[in-house]
Chain A
Amino acid sequence: MATERPHLAVIGAGPAGLAASLAAAAHGVRVTLIDSAAGAGGQFYRRPPAGLGARRPEALHHQWRTWRRLEDALAARVEAGTIRHLADHHVWCVVPAVPVGFVVHALLGPLQEEPVTVRADAVLLATGGYEKVLPFPGWTLPGVVTAGGAQAMLKGGLVVPGQRVVVAGTGPLLLPVATGLAAAGVEVAALVESADPKAFLRRPVALAAQPGKLAEGVRYGAQLLRHHVKLLPRHTVVAAHGEERLDAVTVAALDTHGRVRPGTERRVPCDTLAVGHGMLAHIDLAESLGCRIDGLNVAVDEEQRTDVPGVWAAGETTGIGGAALSLAEGHIAGRSAAARLTGTRLDPRAWARAARSRRRAREFFAALDTVHVPPAHWTEQVTDDTVVCRCEEVTAGAVRNAVDELGAGDVRTVKLLTRAGMGWCQGRMCEPAVAGLAGCEQTPARRLLARPVPLGVLARAGDPDDD
């Protein structure tokens, strides 16, 4: 038998992980693609499972042709044996192996009790991101969901939580969420965007470089019009109302400083609020490997390498920027990993096209980021009795008390004094809120494990017979 090909473990089967796997496999590397979902695609290409028999899943998607290409290419590689796709594998830790390489620890299946380990020469992190939501009174009521959550349930389960929805917050995700829900028969009472869309006009260069994105925006605008969705720019949701379930929200206009304009509050009846304030990168695995973090994202070089030898990162984990950027980064990461692992000459010209689209997409999202910031004075709307940490039910009052009376000056001290961030989600939901209320920068939380692990699995994880 010929010398065994080098082995790359790719974690995450969204656009970045798929592009990376295909590029690496095409250039002489054996790939194991490890993903928590039952099917490849990530959040962007989340689809209903086969049992639901969707004949036109593309009705809830765009860039479907790209997905079909990825899907066909993956199937061909799996068939040829150059990519092994491990679905339903929930990775909780990646550690360097002795003497070389890495061990990926995962939990199998929905119950997540049975351990699986994968050994590889190198790893590529394509772990994506999740939605950031800042708190407001009533945000824990059933019926209030993240914008991405409403979309995930719609794309994956073909279900909606109610009949009349308000979509609110800030960021480009709100557009597909509002239009998707409207297409699925939900009345979208309003799209409440805290940013001022006119601010884009002050960023002509980044916009002109992405005509496709402009066209996408125009298409969404037309769909909103067609579904009679009222667009409320420079507005925010200040409270959600209801006893056991959401029955209305109060929206208000914002002034140019990001403060609620007194007297502009009005109540909008609705049974669902889909709300989001941007995205955060999943960086836990990179952190536990000791990769350098830049702000809240994994730092990478031109080749998408982290500063830990043998560890690449691509897609939203290196910075939020959408599916096209993830594809470009994944492609470059896969090519780079393949060249480095097979010892072939590295030729960046081979991925010049991907590098160009990466640069343009990054510039575009940098411009978006400056426009889609949450209202500067959002904490003024958070009453003392508003629950901030949803898991541990810690209120904003308790956080403020920890800062004002007990002298906490950072998120970690607030956590130790209040338990905010100490629950099931390990602070993923409340971190931006706690940082904001404490008046400090959000810094990366150091989480040793990327997801809950049964103690029995942890106890056996060091056992050499575990493979």
Chain B
Amino acid sequence: MNPLELVGAEPGPGFTVTLDGREIAALPGQTVAAALWAAGVTSWRATRGAGRPRGVFCGIGVCFDCLVTVNDRPNQRACLVPVRAGDTIRMQEGTGHGD
């Protein structure tokens, strides 16, 4: 059993987005964070100070740990932002404004 089977999900047509240039599959309605988790990715940010990896922590938009760069906009909360076909997602280094 997986979560999709548990709720009898029949998702609409899937699509791809890129994470640092690598294609990953996503489903309609998912957030960026959900698509990354489904692809087995659990960290997508390096902290400003120690450069430590971070991903989802609170999952509901309160903690800001899951910040990521989406379509060149840094500091997007991956747990809130819906994923769209063709999105360019990049791991965020520090403030995300360095490049």
Evaluate contact between A149 and B59: CB separation under 8 angstroms. yes
Q: How far is the CB of A165 from chain B (nearest CB, A)?
A: 12
Evaluate contact between A429 and B2: CB separation under 8 angstroms. no
| Residues of B near any A CB (own CB < 8 A) | 1-12, 27-31, 33-34, 37-38, 42-43, 47-50, 52-65, 67, 73, 79-82
The residue that A52 contacts in the complex, of B27, B56, B61, B80, with Cβ under 8 A, is B27
Q: How far is the CB of B53 from chain A (nearest CB, A)?
A: 5
**A43 CA to B34 CA in the complex, in Å?**
16
A-B contact pairs, 29 of them (CB 8 A): A49-B82, A51-B30, A54-B8, A55-B7, A55-B8, A56-B6, A57-B7, A60-B6, A110-B82, A111-B73, A130-B62, A142-B42, A142-B43, A142-B55, A145-B56, A145-B57, A146-B59, A149-B59, A150-B59, A152-B60, A156-B34, A158-B7, A159-B37, A160-B2, A184-B1, A244-B53, A390-B57, A425-B62, A429-B63
| Residue tally, chain A, CB below 8 Å to B | 54
- List, in ascending order, chain B residues with CB within 8 A of A424's CB: 64, 67
**A52 CA to B12 CA in the complex, in Å?**
6
Evaluate contact between A52 and B58: CB separation under 8 angstroms. no
Q: How far is the CB of A456 from chain B (nearest CB, A)?
A: 15
Evaluate contact between B9 and A158: CB separation under 8 angstroms. yes
The residue that A51 contacts in the complex, of B8, B27, B49, with Cβ under 8 A, is B27
Evaluate contact between A149 and B57: CB separation under 8 angstroms. yes
Evaluate contact between A157 and B6: CB separation under 8 angstroms. no
Evaluate contact between B60 and A148: CB separation under 8 angstroms. yes
Evaluate contact between B57 and A144: CB separation under 8 angstroms. yes
| Residues of A near any B CB (own CB < 8 A) | 36, 38, 43, 48-57, 59-60, 110-111, 130-131, 140-146, 148-154, 156-162, 183-185, 244-245, 390-393, 423-425, 428-429
Evaluate contact between A159 and B3: CB separation under 8 angstroms. yes
Q: What is the interface of chain A mostly: helix, strand, loop, or mixed?
A: loop
**A192 CA to B74 CA in the complex, in Å?**
37
- List, in ascending order, chain A residues with CB within 8 A of B3's CB: 60, 154, 158-160, 184-185
Evaluate contact between A131 and B54: CB separation under 8 angstroms. no
The residue that A43 contacts in the complex, of B27, B50, B60, B67, with Cβ under 8 A, is B60
Q: How far is the CB of B65 from chain A (nearest CB, A)?
A: 6
User: With contacts A56-B7, A145-B59, A162-B42 known, is A425 near B64, CB below 8 A?
Assistant: yes
- List, in ascending order, chain B residues with CB within 8 A of A161's CB: 37, 42, 56
- List, in ascending order, chain A residues with CB within 8 A of B50's CB: 393
**A59 CA to B5 CA in the complex, in Å?**
10
**A312 CA to B9 CA in the complex, in Å?**
39
